């Protein structure tokens, strides 16, 4: 099922549609599909468009201060911020975007909860690496969080699995209140999944992607970064639609 859920969104990604338009143009020897491919590429790689997309999925809520939170039972940090790399001593790990990790560590050090929970994110094809939660737990200990305050869920494959695995840990400890830490664009979907499990959630969004600088002429020029951000936004919207359908 995890393979299917990862594969199906690719059918709606701009790069896939552009590819099929180009195949259509070659096979049919017509200009129209090639022009459609070019138009789609220009739209989806335009910073002015991608900035609007990412602003929408980031939401309108500004980042909260640590002082804004009431005490909870646990801080929950969702996976999705490190990547395995090969080093001269074997497999190592590097940060993609560490905002979730440092947000969680900041909250636990501020005394906003007694424990911090990292989720054991992993993919079935990642057979040679550790679940992300185990790696983050070690990092947290190195950053001064007592090991007695650190918990890691069982292995999880997606956000829904994370919510269920966290609920299991909370139930075992007879607790139910959390501060959920994840990327701003991911928070609307994630918080609903946790609330669906009967968990009382305060949300701490981090890793905002929205560019708040003034519009300038460069924003109208095609950009590979803009193309990536458009696809990231689209993927999240597909995820939200999927979970609405299955609820």
Which pLDDT tens digit goes with each residue over 196-235? Answer: 999 999 999 999 998 777 778 888 889 999 999 999 999 9
| 242 or 116, which is more confident | 116
Mean pLDDT on 80-105: 90
Extents of the domains making up the chain: 2-60+223-246, 66-205
pLDDT at 185 over 80: yes
pLDDT tens digits for range 130-172 = 899 999 999 999 999 999 999 999 999 999 999 999 999 999 9
Q: What is the pLDDT of residue 70?
A: 95
DSSP state of 247: -
Higher pLDDT, 97 or 166: 166
The rounded mean pLDDT for the chain is: 91
**Cβ-contact 149, 108 below 8 angstroms:** yes
What's the confidence (pLDDT) of residue 128? Answer: 76
Cα separation of 229 and 235, whole Å? 10
Place of tokens 């949300």: 203
CATH architecture, range 66-205: 3-Layer(aba) Sandwich (3.40)
Backbone dihedral region for residue 141 (phi beyond 0: left; psi -120 to 50: alpha; all else: beta): alpha
What pLDDT, on the 0 to 100 scale, is given for residue 247?
A: 65
Query: Among residues 115, 117, 75, 78, which one has the least CA distance to residue 97?
Result: 78
CA angle (61, 222, 189) in 5-degree steps:
30
Give the Cα separation of 148 and 116 in Å (integer).
Answer: 10
Helix intervals (H) in 81-223: 99-109, 132-142, 159-172, 187-196
Q: What six digits make up the tokens of 69?
A: 């939170």
pTM confidence score: 0.88
The pLDDT of 59-71, averaged and rounded, is 90
Instruction: Say what angle helices 224-246 and 187-196 make with each other, to 10 degrees.
Output: 20
- Helical (H) or strand (E) element with 53: helix 47-58
Which pLDDT score, from 0 to 100, does residue 184 have?
94
> pLDDT band at 101, cuts 50/70/90?
very high
Cα(196)–Cα(48) distance, integer angstroms = 35
**Can you list the alpha helix ranges (DSSP code H) found in 74-157?**
99-109, 132-142
Q: Cβ(93)–Cβ(84) under 8 Å?
A: yes
CA–CA distance, 138 with 74 (Å, rounded to integer): 18
């Amino acid at each position: 099922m995890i393979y299917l859920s990862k594969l199906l969104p690719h059918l709606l990604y701009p790069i896939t549609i552009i590819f099929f338009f180009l195949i259509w143009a070659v096979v049919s020897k017509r200009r129209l599909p090639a022009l459609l491919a070019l138009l789609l590429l220009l739209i989806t790689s335009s910073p002015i468009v991608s900035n609007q997309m990412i602003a929408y999925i980031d939401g309108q809520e500004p980042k909260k201060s640590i002082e804004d939170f009431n005490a909870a039972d646990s801080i929950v940090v969702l996976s999705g911020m490190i990547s395995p790399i090969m080093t001269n001593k074997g497999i190592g790990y590097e940060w993609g975007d560490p905002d979730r990790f440092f947000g969680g560590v900041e909250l636990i050090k501020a005394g906003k909860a007694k424990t911090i929970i990292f989720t054991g994110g992993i993919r079935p094809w990642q057979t040679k690496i550790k679940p992300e939660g185990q790696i983050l737990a070690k990092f947290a200990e190195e950053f001064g969080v007592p090991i007695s305050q650190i918990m890691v869920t069982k292995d999880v494959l997606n956000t829904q699995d994370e919510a269920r695995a966290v609920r299991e840990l909370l139930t075992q400890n007879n607790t139910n209140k959390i501060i959920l830490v994840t990327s701003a664009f991911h928070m609307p979907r994630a918080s609903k999944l946790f609330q669906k499990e009967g968990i009382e959630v305060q949300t701490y969004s981090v890793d905002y992607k929205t560019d708040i600088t003034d519009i300038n002429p460069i924003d109208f020029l095609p950009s590979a970064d803009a193309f990536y951000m458009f696809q990231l936004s689209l993927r999240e919207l597909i995820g939200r639609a999927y979970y609405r359908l299955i609820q």
